[in-house]
Amino acid sequence: MPTMTLRSRPAVRRGLALTAVIAAAGLLAGCTSSGASAPTGTGGKPTGTLNFIVSSSDASDAGFRAVNAAFEKKYPKVKVVFDAIPNANWPATSASRLTAGNVDLTLAGPKEIPKYVPASAKGDDARAADAGVYVDLSKESFMKNLTPTVLKATAYNGKQYDVPTGVSYYTGIYYNESIFKKYDLKIPTTWSDFVTLCNTLKSNGVSPIGIGGKDGWPAGLTMISAVQGLYPTTADKDALQKGLYDGSVKLTDTQPAQVLDRVKQIYGFAQQNFAGVSYQSIPSGFANGSFAMTADGTWNEPTLASAVGSKFKFGYFPIPTSDTAADNATLGGKTELSLAVPSNAKNKTAALAYLNFFTQPANYAKFVKLSGFASAEPNVPASAFLNSIAPYTKTFNPAWDYIFVSNPKAGAKAQFPFNYQSISPLGSSSVEQAATQSEKDWSAGLS
Amino acid sequence: MSEFFPFGRRASMRTTFSIGVVFVIVFALVPAVSVLVLSFTDIRSIPYIPVNWIGFDNYVTFFSAAKLGYNIQALLNTLVFALAVTIFQNGIALLIAVALNSKIKGRTFYRAVVFMPTVLGVTVIGLIWSLIFNPSAGPAASIWKLFGANSAFFGDQHLALPLVIFVQIWSGLGLAVVIFLAGIQAIPEDLYEVASIDGASAWQRLRLVTIPLLAPSITANVLLCIVGSLQSYQIAYVLTGPNNPATQLLSLAIFSQTFGGGNASGSSASQGYAAAISMIQFVIVGIISLAVLVYLRKREARM
């Protein structure tokens, strides 16, 4: 049976023209979007739905949920719709929710970049703040509840666009006090002490350190810890970054290469096949005594405490990567989950009321207790664990990744820019090879 | 030649055809052209940030000295992944299809078992194989231990890609088997009888009867497999994460750039750069697919 033929060429041409018009309209729409929608009014009593999104972590989710419940109790006409989004999905989900205008409270942390860093390295949150995407909270009365030094660290071009919910430290290592007691081990204060301690554990058949290497970033904590000891002050880290950007410091130089050497040695003390172990399985391994220590952030203390229960006591100390004890006396940290109000939020009144409620010391104390974060407000009682690390956190000392601005033009091996991922067994390179690779990728990105 | 219209009139045919065309334009053509245009901009994931026309900058960045090594490695990984998945998946699927076409007891059950992974979601597949290849306490570690060996499995730079390929084959095998089975069942039984009378062995029947007459199914399976595996990133992502250099694929780099979650391929969430990688990948997939299609069509004609 013959098939029909399409003879109407003008119809085809019309179709093509229509296609072109639709495509052009779509493209123009994609290229002309600039400037946030006009802010909606604020003021009055909060009512309606408050759409609130955060990137998920068990402990902080529990803290937010407790505050949300208390907020709804105080403002019964407000319904908090809280979405804790898995970290991997956060960038896409938050961007789409922001685009759709159906989020009233989200996370953002615009950061200033030094003048010697190219403008192309500016982060998305900073670009968004420049474009008026977030509400300026500088003049809100509740900002006075926060610690001035924390506010200073989070200010962007002299303005406050976010409310940091706490501080975390992550250049330290958790240790099992029972195992330390059993082998008569003391908290090490220098690199050589630390190496001796790990060798003692190994010689007794105990894996010294647990690392969730499969996820990549937990191994990166060892690199950040190494920088913390070898470049202990903020001025040291700033000078390192400036030297890297102006080319006067090479990643193959002795001190930068020493960072990778420390990482390599720590990998050597990690549990067998740590490169294939997930971060989620670390708390149970630590609780079971599979390893004596685990490099992790203070954000995970509630999870570790829950896994360990009453089996043993554990503590936390800075990984002493320097041979000078004084350089190992501080923990590097960062401000955590900073809350921001989008300019196109439909319920700005409720969002600001929530921030006001959240920052009240009594409510904030509930959050801090459950989240495990160190307080971003003065006079909020800290947990016993945070009190135990107080000697290392007298002043807020930003960790390397909080200071370092990644160069988008640099190659993959120089993103941090210390190439911890290539070092065997996480990667397949020696310290020298990894340093050479990262220097090549870094210097190529400077031209 | 008389004209025939399925529903008696030209108008109804035009209406249904137009609806299809509109869908293709709105959901395929416009996004595709948009991606091409976006690849010349510095658009980012967060809305309301000004978007600038930057010409070929994203393409220059892709081929820059800083990025080229990584991108070539990702391309090589992608080609190895696609080649291995295509060859092994189709080879194994063909043998299973032939076996499941024979009159064995419980073949319906076996067919269901083989097809089962196809209906599982990628996340479920990731969870299953992550547990199996857990180096601390997974069953694979126990088997390795029997031989006095141990491995980090997905954390092992030399083993990660082969394992991801294995899981990809496992998950895609069912569909390939079904397509081959359909093709085999369409082969007249007489041909096998004639071949048997002529004294053909089982191998000869497979090589000289089954495979030539399965040519259209082979073409379909191979093309589906090549296009699918060149664009696949999901299994590598769930099993080894977005930044593992051993399993870095071009599609995974695009995903990481577009939707975040990774930083190994450059600055995070630069959608303009991701669009540029997409266009490069489109050209590569297009060239390979067309070349294979032409080759397989010629091969079909020869058979």
Q: In the predicted model, is pLDDT for residue A179 greater than 50?
A: yes
Mean pLDDT of A335-351: 95
Residues of chain B in contact with residue A426, where contact means CB-CB under 8 angstroms, are 155
Q: Is B37 near chain A, with CB under 8 Å?
A: yes
Helices (H) and strands (E) in chain B, counts: 15, 0
pLDDT for A37 equals 38
> Using CA of residue B98, residue B99, residue B105, residue B110, what is the dihedral sign?
negative
CA A217 to chain B, closest CA, distance in angstroms equals 9
As a dihedral over the C-alpha atoms of residue B238, residue B240, residue B242, residue B244, rounded to 10 degrees, the angle is: -170
Which range, of A4-8, A401-405, B223-227, B278-282, averages the lowest pLDDT? Answer: A4-8
Asked if A17 has any chain B CB less than 8 Å from its own CB, the reply is: no
**Residues B34-48: pLDDT tens digits?**
999 999 999 988 888
Contact B66 A410 (CB under 8 A): yes
Tell me what ipTM this predicted complex has: 0.82
Cβ separation A22–B48 shorter than 8 A: no
Q: Across the interface, which of A131, A273, A411 has its CB nearest the CB of B66?
A: A411
End-to-end CA distance of chain B: 32
Residue A27: pLDDT band with limits 50, 70, 90: very low
Cα nearest neighbour of B141 on chain A: A273
User: pLDDT tens digits for B164-178?
Assistant: 999 999 999 999 999
What residues contact A377, with CB distance under 8 A and at least 6 apart? A145, A146, A147, A359, A361, A364
Report the residue of A16, A113, A120, A273 to disrupt the B interface, i.e. the one with the largest count of B CBs within 10 Å: A273
pTM of the model: 0.85
Angle at A404 between CA A293 and CA A165, to 5 degrees: 70
Please tell me the distance in Å from A248's CA to the nearest CA on chain B: 19
Report CB contact under 8 Å: A31, B47: no
Tell me how close the Cα of B273 comes to any Cα of chain A, in angstroms. Answer: 11
Q: What pLDDT band is residue B77 in, cutting at 50, 70 and 90?
A: very high
Residues of A in contact with B51 (CB under 8 A): 30-34
Q: What is the pLDDT of residues A35-52, one digit of tens each?
A: 333 333 445 789 999 999
Residues from chain A that touch B153, judged by Cβ atoms under 8 A, are 273, 276
Inform me whether the C-beta atom of residue A419 falls under 8 Å from chain B C-beta atoms: no
Interface contact A309, partner B, CB < 8 A = no
**How many Å apart are CA A440 and CA A141, to the nearest integer?**
49
Q: Which residues 281-300 of A are in CB contact (within 8 Å) with B? A: 281, 285, 290
Q: Which of A128, A409, A414 sits opposite B48 (nearest CB)?
A: A128
Task: Give the residue, A143 or A380, on which the prediction is more confident.
Answer: A143
With CA atoms as reference, report the closest residue to A359 among A147, A160, A145: A145
Q: Residue B261: its chain A contacts at CB < 8 A?
A: 87-89, 91
Which positions ≥6 away from B82 have C-beta within 8 Å?
B225, B226, B229, B230, B288
Q: In chain B, what residues touch A409 (CB-CB under 8 Å)?
A: 61, 64, 66
Q: B41, A31: Cβ pair inside 8 Å?
A: yes
Task: Give the span between the Cα atoms of B192 and B101, in whole angstroms.
Answer: 13
* Chain A residues whose beta carbon lies within 8 Å of the beta carbon of residue B33: 23, 26-27
Q: A-contacting residues of B 73-132, CB under 8 Å?
A: 130
Average pLDDT of every residue of chain B? 89
Contact A90 B13 (CB under 8 A): no
